[in-house]
Amino acid sequence: MVGDSAASSITVGNQITLPIVVDMTQAAGLDIASLQVKVTWNASIVTYVSVTPGTFGSLTLNETDVATGTFMANLFHVTGTKESFTALVLTFSGTSAGTTPVEIEITTAGNELAQSVLDKVTTRKHDVTVSN
């Protein structure tokens, strides 16, 4: 899930932080030990500023394509967790007026036994509206 709600607003030149939260409240005993996260957005409306690690294990970043609206990260926790956590926090800046979805794709998810749990993962996009 991105952010605390499904949408937010900023003005051109201002920044917004969006936490990527893994909500385990409905996971019924499932644990997560690894994730690969792909985040996309319209780079003409918001620009990537930075990422801050969350509370989950180690973080390996791929910021190669942030100028065109794609960010990737790999997260790994040795023992896994059954608790909800913030994976990372992205900061964006409003570039021009408009609305863009910030979409999350989980490309890999596994437990501490290296078994895939990708079929149990659902995501929610977050719309960011930028105004003048």
Domain coverage including residue 89? 7-131
Q: How many domains does the chain have?
A: 1
Give the model's pLDDT for residue 1: 53
Residue 22, in any domain of the structure: yes
pLDDT of residue 105: 93
Tell me, what's the pLDDT at 121?
Answer: 86
Q: Is residue 50 part of a domain?
A: yes
Is residue 107, in this structure, part of any structural domain at all? yes
pLDDT for 125: 85
Predicted pLDDT of residue 39: 96
Q: What is the pLDDT of residue 97?
A: 98
pLDDT of 101 reads 96
* CB-CB neighbours of 66 under 10 Å: 21
CATH number of the structural domain spanning residue 15 = 2.60.40.680
Residue 83 covered by a domain: yes
Domain assignment present for residue 121? The answer is: yes
2 within some domain: no
Let me know the angle formed at the C-alpha of 29 by 111 and 39, rounded to the nearest 5 degrees.
50
Tell me if the pTM is above 0.75. yes
What is the pLDDT at residue 25? 87
Residues of the chain under the 50 pLDDT cut: none
